[in-house]
Amino acid sequence: MGNSKIVVTGMSGLIGGLAGRKFAESYDVSALGRSEVEGFPTTIADIGDGIDEILPALEGVETVVHMAASRGDVPAETHIKANVTGAYNLFEACRITGVKRIVAASTGAVIAGYEKDDPFKSLVHDPDFEMPDPRPMIKVDDPIRPPNMYSVSKMFTENLGRMYSEQHDMSIICIRIGKVEIEDVPLNARNASVWCSHRDIIQMIDKAVHAPEDLKYAVVFACSDNPTRYRDIEHARNVIGFVPKDSAADHGF
State the pTM of this model: 0.96
3-state secondary structure of 76: helix
The string over 130-144, giving b where at least 16 C-beta atoms fall within 10 Å of a residue's C-beta and e elsewhere, is eeeeeeeebebeeeb
Instruction: Name the DSSP letter for residue 81.
Output: I
> pLDDT at position 147, please?
94
Contact predicate 111/145, CB 8 Å: yes
Cis peptide before 134 (omega within 30 of 0): yes
> pLDDT at position 189, please?
93
> pLDDT at position 171, please?
97
> pLDDT at position 48, please?
96
Highest CATH level, class, for 5-251: alpha beta
Distances (CA, A) of 114 to 22, 39, 109, 144, 221: 34, 42, 10, 9, 15
> pLDDT at position 71, please?
82
Domain segments of the chain: what residues?
5-251
Residue 109's closest CA among 162, 177, 174, 172? 177
Contact predicate 155/108, CB 8 Å: no
**Which strand (E) or helix (H) includes residue 21?**
helix 14-23
pLDDT averaged over 10-residue windows placed end to end, the chain, 253 residues: 85 96 96 94 95 95 94 89 96 97 97 96 92 94 96 96 97 98 96 97 98 96 97 98 98 93
